[in-house]
C-alpha cells in the first residue's frame, strides 16, 4: 500500500481544488467498481453493487489544508490566507507548491518578540521573485504544503495523511471487497477541511441507510500530550464522539463486534475537537445512523502527519469485514 499512499500524499490538491487528486483516485477505482461518477461539487463516487438493497455510504475526503494568495507586494513577496485549519507555528520555513507549478518558502517579518509565534499577517511566501511584475503567482492562486513521504518502516510521515490515508483505505477496501450483500458507495469527498461541503451534498444525493466516514484522529501517545486513549500501532479507532457528532451506538457496536469476531485490534476514540464527514451524513434528509473508522495520526494539520502502517492495514480489514456480511443494527 505504501506506493499508493506516496502517490496520494504527494499530489497537491487543497480544498476546492481536488481535481489533480481526483484523477489519481479515479484511475485506481475505475477497474474495481461497477459504476464511477463525479457530481457537481467534484465528489468522486464509486459504487460496488451487491445483492441487497441496503445502501452504505463510506466517505474519505480528498482535499488537504492549503494557502491562497491575497496580495503581491512590490518586491514580489506573496501574502496569503488559509484554506482549512492551518496554524502559523507549522508554517515558518515550510515549503509550498502552487497549482501552477510555482514553488515557495514561507518567511516572516522581523518579530519584536522572537519567543512568540508569528501571526498570519506577519508571514509571507518567497517565490523567488524580485518584483510584482516577475512574480509567478497572482492573487487567488492556491498552494499546498510540499513534503515527500518518509518511510520509517512501520510508520509513514507526510504532509496530507489527513485524509489521503483515508482515501487509500477506501481504495484498498474496494480492492479487497470481492462481494457484498449491500449497495456500497465509496465517496471521495471534496472541501471537508472548509466545512464538510462535499459530503453534505453527496449524502443528500445518495440518501444512504448507513454512513461511515474514514478519517484521521489525534493521539495521546507523545510526550506531555493531552489525555486521549488513542495510540499509534494499537489498531484503527472506532469513534464514539468528536467535536461535531455522537456516533450512533448501534454503529459503534456493529464495528466493535466485527473487530472482535475477526480478531482485528481496535481502539475506542473520543475526540474533543474536530469532526468528520460523518457529522453531515448523520443529519442528512431524515437522518442516517452514522459512525467513523479513524486512523490514529500524530501531528495532525502539520506538514509531517504520522501514521502506523499496521493501523492502516487493519482499518482495511475491518471495513472489508463490515461490508462483507449482512448488517443488523441492534
Q: What is the pLDDT of residues 59-106, one digit of tens each?
A: 999 999 999 999 999 999 999 999 999 999 999 999 999 999 999 999
How many CA atoms are closer than 13 Å to the CA of 221, on its beta-carbon side? 15
Question: pLDDT tens digits, residue range 261-297?
Answer: 999 999 999 999 999 999 999 999 999 999 999 999 9
Catalytic residue among 10, 64, 192, 193: 192
Nearest one of 304, 288, 287, 305 to 296, comparing CA atoms: 305
Nearest one of 13, 137, 22, 149 to 83, comparing CA atoms: 13
Work out the average pLDDT over 108-130.
Answer: 93
Residue 107 · residue 91 · CB < 8 Å = no
Residue 292 · residue 262 · CB < 8 Å = no
Residue 239 · residue 228 · CB < 8 Å = no
Is position 121 annotated as part of the catalytic site? no
Q: Which residue has the cell 510584482?
A: 132
List of domains in the chain: 2-64+159-324 (3.40.630.10), 66-145 (2.40.30.40)
Rounded to two decimals, the pTM is 0.95
Question: pLDDT tens digits, residue range 153-193?
Answer: 999 999 999 999 999 999 999 999 989 999 999 999 999 99
Amino acid at each position: 500500500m505504501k506506493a499508493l499512499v506516496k502517490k496520494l500524499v504527494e499530489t497537491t490538491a487543497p480544498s476546492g481544488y481536488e481535481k489533480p487528486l481526483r484523477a489519481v483516485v479515479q484511475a485506481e477505482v475505475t477497474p474495481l467498481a461497477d459504476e464511477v461518477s463525479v457530481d457537481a461539487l467534484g465528489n468522486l463516487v464509486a459504487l460496488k453493487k451487491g445483492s441487497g438493497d441496503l445502501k452504505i455510504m463510506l466517505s474519505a475526503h480528498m482535499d488537504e489544508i492549503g494557502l491562497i494568495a491575497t496580495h503581491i507586494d512590490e518586491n514580489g513577496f506573496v501574502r496569503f490566507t488559509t484554506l482549512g485549519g492551518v496554524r502559523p507555528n507549522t508554517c515558518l520555513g515550510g515549503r509550498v507548491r502552487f497549482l501552477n507549478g510555482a514553488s515557495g518558502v514561507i518567511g516572516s517579518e522581523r518579530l519584536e518578540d522572537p519567543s512568540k509565534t508569528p501571526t498570519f499577517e506577519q508571514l509571507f511566501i518567497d517565490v523567488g521573485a524580485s518584483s510584482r511584475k516577475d512574480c509567478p503567482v497572482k492573487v487567488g492562486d492556491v498552494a499546498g504544503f510540499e513534503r515527500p513521504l518518509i518511510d520509517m518502516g512501520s510508520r509513514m510521515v507526510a504532509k496530507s495523511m489527513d485524509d489521503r490515508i483515508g482515501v487509500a483505505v477506501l481504495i484498498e477496501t474496494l480492492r479487497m471487497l470481492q462481494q457484498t450483500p449491500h449497495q456500497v458507495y465509496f465517496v471521495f469527498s471534496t472541501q471537508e477541511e472548509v466545512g464538510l461541503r462535499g459530503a453534505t451534498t453527496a449524502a443528500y444525493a445518495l440518501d444512504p441507510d448507513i454512513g461511515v466516514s474514514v478519517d484521521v484522529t489525534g493521539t495521546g501517545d507523545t510526550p506531555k500530550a493531552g489525555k486521549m486513549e488513542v495510540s499509534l500501532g494499537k489498531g484503527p479507532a472506532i469513534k464514539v464522539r468528536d467535536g461535531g457528532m455522537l456516533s450512533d451506538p448501534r454503529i459503534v457496536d456493529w464495528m466493535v463486534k466485527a473487530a472482535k469476531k475477526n480478531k482485528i485490534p481496535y481502539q475506542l476514540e473520543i475526540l474533543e475537537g474536530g469532526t468528520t464527514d460523518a457529522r453531515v451524513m448523520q443529519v442528512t434528509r431524515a437522518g442516517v445512523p452514522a459512525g467513523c473508522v479513524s486512523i490514529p495520526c500524530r501531528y495532525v494539520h502539520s506538514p509531517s502527519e504520522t501514521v502506523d502502517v499496521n493501523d492502516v492495514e487493519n482499518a482495511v480489514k475491518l471495513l472489508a469485514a463490515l461490508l462483507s456480511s449482512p448488517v443488523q443494527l441492534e
